[in-house]
Amino acid sequence: MTTKGFTTRLVHADRLLNKPQDGAVHQATTNSVLFEYEDVNDLVDVFQGRKVGHVYSRSSSTSNAALQNMLANIEGGTGALVFSTGMAAISSTLLSLLKAGDHIIMSQYLFGNSASLAETIEDLGIRVCLVDVTDVSEVERAISEETKVVYLETIANPVTQVADLARIGELCQSRGLLYIVDNTMTPSCLFTGSQIKASLLVGSLTKYYGGHGNVLGGFVIDTGIYDWSSYANISDFYKTAPVDQWGVTQVKKKGLRDMGATLSPQSAHMVSVGMETLELRMKKTCENAMVLANFLEQHDKVEKVYYPGLASHPQHDLAQTHFSDFGGILSIDLKPECDCFDFLNALSLIIKATHLGDTRTLALPVAHTIFYENGPEKRAQMGINDNMIRFSIGIENSEDLIYDLTQALEKV
């Protein structure tokens, strides 16, 4: 199966991996919270990890297992878990694998809510160090005795900085550090986690995977690269599993089971249907983003365009090495004399909304919204200007997007 193309594998994954009953091409949605065992010995074996099965759908169900199989399969990974949201996946993973006294190195260009989560885990006694991940030497310099994890995002939002992914992966491998990569911006059809030696991929199913703005979800995928026998925080209890399952088992027990942010089976079905067109949508999204980036870079009311596909982007070469295309996030600074609120209010097709990875093109003044809480100092450190607008490019016909941008720019 692994030799077939990305979309072929995905649209046939439920049939071939999960084998739903009666020849159905979709896994049935699990409506039961509990699972009956005729022989109590089997129930006990499942509880104690000697047999695979479901006991209570907070921890696992047929629907969610089917989606987890699809995610692990498209990454060639050793296991996956799904959660109610991307933030649930990220917080459950970090809280399951870190302890007070540990040190984590994180990107200084994190998604706003992840940056805020970093402050929460710091309050719990985990030391957090934020570094510029476009440069591996910054990460290397931050490593200390207590460092357990390096955490970053493939393409940052909204300034689109690209992390030095492969060199940081090599560094993590040589130091035995767990390398957690949020690949929300570059889903599996654009980027392969194992190629940059990522240990775990985490992120949002709400964005490109689901893709239609109608369902929340999050994921963790183990790429199979990391040797869990060298991770100090695995509870002895979970070491009865094969060593390549230690990490996922601990996140499943401590994160999913104990913290309880389970994806609903109905949502799992919606995400898996959305994923069937992931590659097709990403192709159109990236194509539109490139067209718009070139258009905006020429426009005399635009000061600056941030898009990794442009030759002017500082990490254009890195992006070209790591991704098969450049993603759907594109930001601009308008010329200082142009009012970004006037521009946004003049848009008629492009939607003013937070969210990204939708089929529809969205726009947002970032400094005044998602990064408002961070304050001017932190925003400056992240490269976010007051006049910056972030677009999440959709799959519309590009001429309609150009038309809308042109008429709105005329009005400022």
Ligand X SMILES: *Cc1c(COP(=O)(O)O)cnc(C)c1O
Site for ligand X in 278-297 (CB under 6 A): none
Q: Which segment (84-92, 127-135, 173-181, 300-308) binds ligand X by CB under 6 A?
A: 84-92
- Is 182 near ligand X (CB under 6 A)? yes
Closest CA to 322 of 152, 149, 101, 206: 152
- Is 211 near ligand X (CB under 6 A)? no
The least distance separating ligand X from the CB of residue 356, rounded to whole angstroms, comes to 6
Q: Between 121 and 302, whose beta carbon lies closer to ligand X?
A: 121
Contact between 178 and 231 (Cβ < 8 Å) = yes
Residue 203 falls in which region: left (phi positive, over 0), alpha (psi -120 to 50) or beta: left
Query: x/- binding map, residues 26-65, to ligand X, per CB under 6 A?
Result: ----------------------------------------
What pairing do the DSSP bridges indicate for beta strands 362-365 and 351-352?
Answer: parallel
Contact residue for ligand X among 60, 147, 184, 188 (CB under 6 A):
184
The least distance separating ligand X from the CB of residue 95, rounded to whole angstroms, comes to 15
The least distance separating ligand X from the CB of residue 210, rounded to whole angstroms, comes to 9
What pairing do the DSSP bridges indicate for beta strands 362-365 and 388-392?
Answer: antiparallel
**Cα gap 339→311, rounded to integer Å:** 27
SS3 content of the chain, % helix, strand, coil (to 5): 45, 15, 40
- Is 87 near ligand X (CB under 6 A)? yes
Q: How many residues bind ligand X (CB under 6 A)?
A: 17
**Cα gap 208→284, rounded to integer Å:** 12
Contact residue for ligand X among 57, 107, 134, 206 (CB under 6 A):
206
- In sequence order, the 6+-apart residues with CB closer than 8 A to the CB of 41 are none
The least distance separating ligand X from the CB of residue 345, rounded to whole angstroms, comes to 25
Q: Between 86 and 328, whose beta carbon lies closer to ligand X?
A: 86
Structure tokens at 190: 């654009």
Sign of the alpha-carbon torsion through 81, 182, 142, 158: negative
Contact residue for ligand X among 77, 86, 309, 394 (CB under 6 A):
86
Within 10 angstroms of residue 389's Cβ, the number of other Cβ atoms is 24
Residue 162 falls in which region: left (phi positive, over 0), alpha (psi -120 to 50) or beta: beta
Q: Between 83 and 238, whose beta carbon lies closer to ligand X?
A: 83
Structure tokens at 116: 């805020």
The least distance separating ligand X from the CB of residue 174, rounded to whole angstroms, comes to 27
Contact residue for ligand X among 198, 216, 318, 409 (CB under 6 A):
216
Q: Between 4 and 355, whose beta carbon lies closer to ligand X?
A: 355
Q: Between 157 and 272, whose beta carbon lies closer to ligand X?
A: 157
What pairing do the DSSP bridges indicate for beta strands 200-204 and 178-182?
Answer: parallel
The least distance separating ligand X from the CB of residue 217, rounded to whole angstroms, comes to 6
The least distance separating ligand X from the CB of residue 114, rounded to whole angstroms, comes to 6
The conformation of residue 263, written as its DSSP 8-state character, comes to P
Query: x/- binding map, residues 363-392, to ligand X, per CB under 6 A?
Result: ------------------------------
- Is 276 near ligand X (CB under 6 A)? no
- Is 172 near ligand X (CB under 6 A)? no
Q: Between 152 and 334, whose beta carbon lies closer to ligand X?
A: 152
- SS3 assignment, position 153: strand
Angle between helices 112-123 and 86-97 (to 10 degrees): 30
State the DSSP string of 84-126: SSHHHHHHHHHHHH--TT-EEEEETT--HHHHHHHHHHHHTT-
Q: Which segment (164-172, 180-188, 189-197, 394-402) binds ligand X by CB under 6 A?
A: 180-188
Q: Between 18 and 160, whose beta carbon lies closer to ligand X?
A: 160
In the block, which residue shows the tokens 């304050």? 375
Contact residue for ligand X among 108, 204, 264, 267 (CB under 6 A):
204
In the chain, the amino acid numbered 54 is H
Query: x/- binding map, residues 104-143, to ligand X, per CB under 6 A?
Result: -------x--x-----------------------------
**Cα gap 275→280, rounded to integer Å:** 10
3-state secondary structure 185-247: CCCCCCCCHHHHCCCEEEEEHHHHHCCCCCCCCEEEEECCCCCHHHCCCCCHHHHHCCHHHHH
Which residue ranges make up the site for ligand X (CB under 6 A)?
Answer: 85-87, 111, 114, 153, 157, 182, 184-185, 203-204, 206-207, 216, 218, 356
